[in-house]
């Protein structure tokens, strides 16, 4: 078991809050159109911070836990790219002006971080109390993987999001964006702006992604601290990564296929772990180094094949994938 002191938790949370404050300052207090060079610089910065943390963490607590952190970080980072896919769809659907996209992304990341902290606490408590939860988590991931693979060439329907539909039905919504505000006053009447709908859509997306990403990362580590830091560092770089890769996302035509294979692999790993603990110790388990190698291998192969395919046929467009087909599919139904 990994023992993390109160001071360790405090320092970790302090670093993450400081980085979040930096993101807030850049994205909300100084809204502007982000160029490629700026996005690349901040993406490199956040990835370097995550790697530096992993090296220091592994050196202090041992490389068994260090490898678990890197495996968890890579899983969460790959899922966060798919999360970005849905963010792009939301931005396009609601025609968010470029200068407000940073603000929307930053709030989306904060909402995601809060939701994932809640799910990490719940997930850790369930796994500690009931070992069969490894089986439940594994089956959830297998179901998600199969559905995502079946509907890999579809995009989620933002208009079918429950929160957005309810807001449109019960709240007064204005037609225009108003200086990055979520509410405005028109003819003396208080109204919500489309920016409010965008944040609702992104919040709903974050909730659904958290439901899948937390079981996925618990598949590579049982340590709540590692799950938390892997999620936090994967999410903190999303704002810059969005502006860096949004032009490349359309070319990752096999991304959903690769993610479905990764989720299926982790699902099988969780089920084997449950069987090893609860049925018979002779049931083989998948080690963390093997998991890390498989996940990295799938991501590299997926990316290379995607770029080769899109180069051969530039008309091909990647899709975020969905759990449901047709007009019924929910956005971010991963």
Q: List the one residue out of 236, 225, 237 whose CA is nearest residue 10.
A: 225
Q: Is 252 helix (H, G, I), strand (E, B) or coil?
A: coil
pLDDT in tens, 75-118: 988 888 777 878 888 888 888 888 788 778 878 888 888 888 88
Domain range annotation of the chain:
7-130+155-247
Distance CA 130, CA 128 (A): 6
Contact 195, 183 (CB under 8 A): no
Question: What does the alpha-carbon distance between residue 148 and residue 324 come to, in Å, rounded to a whole number?
Answer: 8
Structure tokens at 139: 């089956």
Split the chain (334 residues) into runs of 10 and give each run's mean pLDDT.
Answer: 90 91 74 77 91 95 94 89 80 82 80 86 88 90 89 74 78 80 83 86 81 86 92 85 77 88 92 91 89 91 91 81 55 40
**pTM for this predicted structure:** 0.82
Q: What are phi and psi of 148, to 5 degrees?
A: -65, -40
| The token pair that represents 181 in the structure block | 């505000």
| CA 193 to chain CA centroid, nearest Å | 26
pLDDT value, residue 1? 82
Rounded Cα gap, residues 295 and 87, in angstroms = 24
C-beta of residue 266 within 8 angstroms of C-beta of residue 218: no
> How many residues appear in the chain?
334
């Amino acid at each position: 078991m990994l023992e993390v002191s109160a001071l360790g938790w405090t320092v970790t949370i302090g670093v993450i809050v400081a980085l979040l404050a930096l993101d807030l300052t850049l994205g909300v207090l100084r809204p502007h159109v982000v160029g490629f060079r700026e996005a690349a610089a901040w993406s490199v910065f956040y990835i370097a911070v995550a790697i530096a943390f992993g090296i220091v963490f592994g050196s202090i607590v041992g490389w068994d836990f260090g490898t678990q952190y890197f495996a968890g970080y890579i899983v969460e980072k790959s899922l966060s790219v798919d999360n970005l896919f849905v963010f792009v769809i939301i931005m396009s659907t609601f025609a968010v002006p470029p200068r407000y996209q940073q603000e929307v992304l930053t709030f989306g990341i904060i909402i995601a971080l809060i939701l994932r902290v809640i799910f990490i606490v719940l997930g850790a408590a369930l796994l500690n109390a009931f070992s069969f939860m490894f089986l439940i988590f594994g089956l959830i991931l297998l179901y998600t993987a199969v559905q995502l693979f079946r509907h890999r060439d579809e995009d989620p329907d933002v208009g079918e999001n429950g929160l957005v539909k309810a807001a449109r039905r019960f709240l007064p919504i204005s037609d225009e964006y108003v200086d990055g505000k979520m509410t405005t006053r028109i003819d003396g009447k208080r109204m919500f702006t489309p920016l409010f709908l965008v944040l609702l859509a992104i919040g709903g997306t974050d909730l659904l992604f958290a439901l899948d990403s937390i079981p996925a990362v618990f598949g590579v580590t049982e340590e709540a601290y590692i799950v938390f830091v892997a999620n936090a560092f994967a999410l903190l770089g999303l704002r810059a990564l969005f502006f860096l890769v949004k032009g490349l996302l359309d070319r990752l035509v096999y991304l959903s296929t690769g993610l479905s294979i990764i989720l299926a692999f982790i699902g099988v790993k969780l089920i084997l772990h449950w069987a090893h603990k609860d049925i018979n110790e002779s049931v083989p388990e998948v080690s963390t180094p093997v998991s890390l190698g498989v996940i990295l291998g799938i991501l590299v192969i997926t990316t290379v094949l995607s770029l080769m395919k899109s180069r051969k046929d530039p008309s091909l467009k990647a899709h975020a994938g969905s759990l449901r087909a047709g007009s019924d599919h929910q956005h971010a139904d991963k």
